[in-house]
A and B are shown apart, each in its own frame.
Chain A
Amino acid sequence: MSNVQQEVFEIISKQAKIGMETIKPESTLKDLGVASLDAIEVIFDIEEHFNINLPNEEVDFENGTVGHLTGAVERQLAQKPANG
Chain B
Amino acid sequence: MRRIVITGMGGICALGHNASDIWQAMAEGRSGIGPVHHIDAKYLRASAAIAAEVSDFDPLKYIDAARLPFLDPLSQHALVAAGEAIRQSGLPLDHERAPRTAVVVGVGAAGEETREGLYQKLYGEQASRFHPLGIVRIMSNAPASQISMTHGITGPTFTVSSACASSNHAFAQAALMIRAGLVDAAVAGGAEACITLGILRAWEAMRVLAPDTCRPFSANRRGLVLGEGSAMFVLETLESAQARGATILAELAGVGMSADAGDIAAPSDVGAAAAMRIALQDAGMQPADIDYINAHGTGTVANDCTETRAIHNVFGKHARRLAVTSTKPMHGHALGAAGALELIAVVGALRNGIVPPTLNYLGPDPACDLDYVPHEARAMTVRAALSNSFAFGGLNAVVALRRAP
Chain A to chain B: the 4 pairs with minimum beta-carbon distance, closest first: A36-B266, A37-B265, A36-B263, A36-B265
Which residue from A36, A44, A59, A62 sits with its C-beta under 8 Å from B205?
A44
Q: A40-B206, A40-B207, A44-B205 are in contact. Are A55 and B263 (CB under 8 A)?
A: no
A32 interface residue (CB < 8 Å to B): no
Q: Chain A contacts of B47 at CB under 8 A?
A: 55-56
Q: Is B264 close to A, CB under 8 A? A: yes
A52 within 8 A of B: no
Does A11 make an interface contact (CB < 8 A)? Answer: no
Chain A residues proximal to chain B, CB less than 8 Å = 35-37, 40, 43-44, 55-56, 59, 62
Specify which chain A residues have a CB less than 8 angstroms from the CB of B211 in the assembled complex. Answer: 56
A58 to chain B, nearest CB (A): 11
**Smallest CB gap from A54: residue in B:** B207
Cα–Cα, bound, A37→B265 (Å): 7
Instruction: Judge whether A59 and B263 touch: CB under 8 Å.
Output: no
Q: How far is B222's CA from A59's CA once the two chains are assembled, in angstroms?
A: 12
6 of the cross-chain contacts (CB-CB < 8 Å) are A36-B263, A37-B206, A40-B206, A43-B207, A55-B47, A59-B207
In the bound complex, what is the Cα–Cα distance between A62 and B263 (angstroms)? 17
Q: CA separation between A55 and B222, bound complex, in Å?
A: 13
Set of chain B residues within 8 Å of A62, measured between Cβ atoms: 301
Shortest B84–chain A CB gap in Å is 39
Asked whether, in the complex, the Cβ of A56 is within 8 Å of the Cβ of B266, the reply is no
Nearest A residue to B266 via CB reads A36
Query: What are the interface flags for B36-73 relative to A under an 8 Å C-beta threshold, 1 for contact and 0 otherwise?
Result: 00000000000100000000000000000000000000
Give A51 Cβ to nearest chain B Cβ, in Å.
16
A-contact bits for B232-267, CB 8 A (1 contact / 0 none): 000000000000000000000000000000011110
Min distance, Cβ A27 to any Cβ of chain B, angstroms: 20
Residues of B in contact with A (beta carbons under 8 Å apart): 47, 205-207, 211, 222, 263-266, 301
**Cross-chain contact of B222 among A35, A36, A37, A56 (Cβ < 8 A):** A56
Which residue among B205, B207, B301 has the maximum number of chain A CB atoms within 10 Å of its CB? B207
Name the A residues within 8 Å of B207 (CB-CB).
40, 43, 56, 59
For A44, the chain B residues whose CB sits under 8 A away are 205
With a CB–CB cut-off of 8 A, which chain B residues contact A36? Answer: 263, 265-266
> A44–B264 Cα gap in the complex (Å)?
18
The residue on B at minimum CB distance from A47 is B205
Distance in angstroms between the alpha carbons of A43 and B208 in the assembled complex: 14
**Distance of A44 Cα from B263 Cα, bound (Å):** 19
Q: What is the CB-to-nearest-CB distance from B223 to chain A, in angstroms, rounded to a whole number? A: 8
Decide: A37 near B264, CB < 8 A? Known: A56-B47, A56-B211.
yes
CB-CB under 8 A from B265, the residues of chain A are 36-37
From the candidates B205, B266, B301, name the one contacting A35 in the complex (CB within 8 A): B266
- Beyond the given A40-B205, A44-B205, A56-B47, could you list 8 further A-B residue pairs with CB under 8 A, ordered by the A residue number? A36-B263, A36-B266, A37-B264, A37-B265, A40-B206, A40-B207, A55-B47, A59-B207
- Complex CA–CA separation, A59 to B47 (angstroms): 14
Minimal Cβ-Cβ distance residue in B for A62:
B301
Complex Cα distance, B48 from A55, in Å, reads: 12
Complex CA–CA separation, A71 to B282 (angstroms):
53
Chain A residue nearest to B222 (CB atoms) is: A56
Cα distance A43–B206 in the bound complex, in angstroms: 10
Contacts of B264 in A (CB 8 A): 37
Collect the chain B residues with CB atoms within 8 Å of residue A40's CB: 205-207
How close is B106's CB to chain A, nearest CB, in angstroms?
A: 24
A35 to chain B, nearest CB (A): 7
B24 to chain A, nearest CB (A): 35
Q: Shortest CB–CB separation between residue A60 and chain B, in angstroms?
A: 11
Minimum CB–CB distance for B340 against chain A, Å = 27
CA–CA, A36 to B208, complex, Å? 11
Q: Which residues of B contact A59 (CB under 8 A)?
A: 207
Return chain B residues, CB-CB under 8 Å to A37.
206, 263-266
Q: In the docked arrangement, what's the CA distance between A40 and B207, Å? A: 7
Q: Which residues of B contact A43 (CB under 8 A)?
A: 207
Q: How far is the CB of A70 from chain B (nearest CB, A)?
A: 19
